[in-house]
Amino acid sequence: MRYKNYQNVVILDHPLIKHKITRLRDKKTTTAEFRNLIEEIAMLEAYEALWDLPITDVEVETPIETCTSPVIDGKKLAIVPILRAGLGMVNGIHNMVPNAKVGHIGLFRDPKTHEPREYFCKLPENIDQRLVVILDPMLATGGSADAAITSVKEHGGNHIKFMCVIAAPEGLERLAKAHPDVDIYVGNLDRCLNDDDYICPGLGDAGDRIFGTK
C-alpha cells in the first residue's frame, strides 16, 4: 500500500505482520517473545524490501540436467541497524541473506529535545557499491532515521532503503520528503505522536522491550 503521493513509501499490508504487531503492542508480551516477533517481522518485511537484491547466475546439476540458475549475491548487501533497537531486526534479515555485511549506527534521542545524537558509526567498506538497508523498528519524529540516512550518504552510500515496524505519520512524512531517493518499508502506520514523541498506540520503548532494560 502506498502512502499519500509518496512513491518511496510502502506500507506492508499483510495479515501475518498485522498479527505479530498486535502481539508486540501487548504490554504483557515477554521480552523473549518480543525479540522473536521483531525478528520475524523483519524477515517478512525483507521479502518485500529486497525484491531488487543483486543476483548472480551459477551452474547447478539437477537430477535431470545441468542448468544455470540465480543465487543471491549477499555480499553486496549491507544491513545497518540503528542502535539499540535496530539490532533486534538483524537476525531476521540474516536468516534470509546470511552473507549480508553489517554496519552499526549508534543514535539516541536526547530525552529533553528528542533530537538524535550520533555516538557510533562503523560501516562495511565499499559502501558506495552496496545496497544499504537501515533498520529501526520505530519511526517516530523521524529524526533518528533522517540522521542515519544522512550519515550513510556522507559515507558514500547511494542505494539506501529504510525498514521499520511501526511509523507515526509525522515521521513518515518527514522522512519521505527529506529522502525521496530512499525506499521506506513500514510494517504499520500508527495514529500519531504523543507529547513525549512516543508513537500512539505504538508499543512503548522498543529498545527497552527488546533488551529487557525497563
Spatial separation of the C-alpha atoms in residues 33 and 203, rounded to whole Å:
13
Rg (CA), the chain: 17
Scan residues 118-157 and list those touching ligand PRP (CB under 6 A). Answer: 136, 138-145
Compare residues 115 and 125 and give the one whose CB is closer to ligand URA: 115
Q: Which three cell numbers stand for residue 198?
A: 512516543
Is 196 an annotated catalytic residue? no
Using CB under 6 A as the binding rule, whether residue 89 contacts ligand URA is answered as no
Candidates 22, 30, 113, 213; catalytic one = 113
How many residues bind ligand URA (CB under 6 A)? The answer is: 9
Q: Which three cell numbers stand for residue 176?
A: 519521505
Under a CB-based contact definition with an 8 Å cutoff, are residues 92 and 46 in contact? yes
Candidates 25, 35, 109, 174; catalytic one = 109
The binder of 8, among ligand URA, ligand PRP, none, by C-beta within 5 to 8 A per type, is none
Count CB neighbours of 62 within 10 A: 8
Is 205 an annotated catalytic residue? yes
Compute the least distance from the CB of residue 143 to ligand PRP, in Å: 4
Spatial separation of the C-alpha atoms in residues 175 and 193, rounded to whole Å:
15
Task: For residue 115, report the phi and psi dihedrals to the nearest 5 degrees.
Answer: -85, 145
The binding track of 151-190 with respect to ligand URA, each residue x by CB under 6 A or -, is: ----------------------------------------
Spatial separation of the C-alpha atoms in residues 196 and 184, rounded to whole Å:
24
Using CB under 6 A as the binding rule, whether residue 138 contacts ligand URA is answered as yes
Compare residues 23 and 109 and give the one whose CB is closer to ligand PRP: 109
Question: How many alpha carbons fall within 13 Å on the CB side of residue 103?
Answer: 27
Is 208 an annotated catalytic residue? yes
Is 109 an annotated catalytic residue? yes
Q: Which residues contact 169 (CB under 8 A, 6 or more apart)?
A: 189, 190, 191, 192
Compute the least distance from the CB of residue 208 to ligand PRP, in Å: 6
Four-point Cα dihedral 211, 119, 155, 143, nearest 10:
70
Using CB under 6 A as the binding rule, whether residue 202 contacts ligand URA is answered as yes
Binding residues for ligand URA, per CB under 6 A? 85, 138, 140, 198-199, 202, 205-207
Residues that bind ligand PRP (CB under 6 A): 82-85, 107-109, 114, 116, 136, 138-145, 171, 197, 205-207
